[in-house]
Structures are given as C-alpha cells and as structure tokens.
Amino acid sequence: MGTFFRHAASAMRWLLVGAVVAAVAAGACLGVAAVATGSGTDHDGAPWSLVAAPGIDRQKAMDAAVAAVPGSTAVSAELDSERNTTVWEVEVVTPEGVEYEVSVDANTGVVRGTAERD
C-alpha cells in the first residue's frame, strides 16, 4: 500500500512540473506575440511607443498649442497615441472660457489638430 502512494505522489509531482513548464511557455509565447505585433503595453497600460522619451518636452508642446489657439492658456498636457504616432494632447482655455484640445506631434512639435471641447 505504501508503494502505491509513493508512485502516485511521484506521478503527481511530474504532472505539476509539466503544468508549470506549460504555463511558463504559454506566457512567454504571449509576451513575444504582444511585442512582435506592437500591441504590448507597459505596467501603466500605456502603449510601448509611449514609453520612450518624446522628441519634444511637455513645455514645448504646451507652447505650440498656445500658438495654435491665440490668446489661450495651457492647462494640461499628456502623452497619447494617435494612429501609431506619439502625440502630446494639450488642453488650452481661451479668456472666454472656451476649451480646446490640441494634438501636437511628440517627435516634431508640429500641431496635428485642434478640437473644441464640449
């Protein structure tokens, strides 16, 4: 009877080792696939393209946005991705209280678009 339990425990141990190896292999495959397809994200959920430092800093993006909406004041700026391009999304407000979101290319500093916010 003791031999039976020893053999059963040995078999269970190898099943457990096999399951762990399979789980590690599956996780590695998913990680490689995410990186290869560009669909990976960092620990904050940001696309990998946003992890690298942008070509222009936050202040330059805010200056470009203010120039695009004359008389406005920049309120905030954050990195985002638009159509596989890293952009600064800058929120500006005019003296009349109208809010705009200005999209500034994070590599070149070129204003890509301006949209009035509701």
Say what the pTM is.
0.57
pLDDT recorded at residue 91:
97
Beta bridge partners, 109, equal none
Domain positions in the chain: 1-40, 48-116
For 17, the enclosing helix (H) or strand (E) is: helix 2-37
Distance CA 91, CA 74 (A): 6
Q: Is the pLDDT score of 49 beyond 80?
A: no
CATH fit for domain 48-116, picks 3.40.30.10, 3.90.850.10, 3.10.450.40, 3.40.50.1100: 3.10.450.40
- For 59-81, what is each residue's pLDDT tens digit? 999 999 999 999 999 999 999 98
Distance CA 98, CA 107 (A): 27
Cβ atoms of residues 73 and 67 within 8 Å: no
